[in-house]
Amino acid sequence: MDRATLNQDLFHAAEAGHLVKVRNYLAEGADINSRHGWYDGTPLHAATRGGFINIVELLLERADNDPNKEDKCVGETPLYAAASSGYISIVKLLLERIDIDPNKENKDNSTPLHAAARNGFIKIVKLLLERADIDPNKQSENDGTPLYASVRGGFINIVKLFLERADIELNKEKKDGKTPFDLAADQENLKMVELLFERSIIDPTKSGNTILHIAAANELSSIVQLLLQNTNTDPNKGNK
């Protein structure tokens, strides 16, 4: 069997969950880091996407396996794929690798933490936040920060996890100028607004309109009432 066919067979065996075949193809010298499939991923990508933890474990035993290799389609690492799919056992395995990069971004600049926060996988968010090398404030094109992504999804318990950290940039703006607080106000999510307000003084938006201006203009009476009850709110502050 030629090398190219062997590499392809390894990928398809990992994709289908055939542990014995994966082991045999590796023994025959298949390239563990070769890319295949519609998304141009490695066998580790394939096994991770399929949730085949026994194959992931086998592949990670190999020192020559690169756990940070991105697929060529959207630039996802196996850790990103596992975090996005909610495969917590696979996430744990990948995080055990000393060479794993938990902050590796895809082509959208999203990290595994974005993926877990966006999809509401609180246990995976906890795992990632426990790492000393995690960056909880990375900004992606579509999700903003992981905090922003969790606010957008309405995942209040995940938001609480982020707010427990002293290094969270609560007022960090997405490219459109909106902060997590702005988003919660837009969604009329009073519980989320209250939670975010407990944590910090909220900055005005880039436009110069405060959250109070925006809430009043949109007739969000419950949020206006909440803001006026808060000592950090200046009801006399003008807009621009």
Would residue 101 be called left, alpha or beta, if left means φ above 0 and alpha means ψ between -120 and 50 degrees? beta
**φ, ψ of residue 123 in degrees (nearest 5):** -65, -35
Q: How many CA atoms lie within 13 A of 209 on its CB side?
A: 13
Would residue 160 be called left, alpha or beta, if left means φ above 0 and alpha means ψ between -120 and 50 degrees? alpha
Would residue 191 be called left, alpha or beta, if left means φ above 0 and alpha means ψ between -120 and 50 degrees? alpha
Distances (CA, A) of 35 to 32, 72, 201: 9, 8, 48
d(CA 203, CA 232): 10
74 near 108, Cβ under 8 Å?
Answer: yes
pLDDT above 60 (res 214): no
Higher-scoring residue by pLDDT: 185, 217: 185
Burial 180-195 (b: 16+ CB within 10 A, else e): bbbbbbbeebeebbeb
pLDDT digits (tens, 9 = 90+) for 130-164: 999 999 999 999 999 999 999 999 999 999 999 99
Give residue 49's pLDDT: 97
Which amino acid belongs to residue 34? Answer: S
> Domains in the chain, start-ordered, CATH in brackets?
1-101 (1.25.40.20), 132-233 (1.25.40.20)
Instruction: Determine what percent of the chain is predicted with pLDDT higher than 70.
Output: 83
d(CA 15, CA 56): 11
Q: Give me 210's structure tokens.
A: 């405060």
Mean pLDDT for 34-62 is 97
What is the pTM (predicted TM-score) of this model?
0.86
Taken in order 120, 124, 125, 126, the sign of the CA dihedral is positive
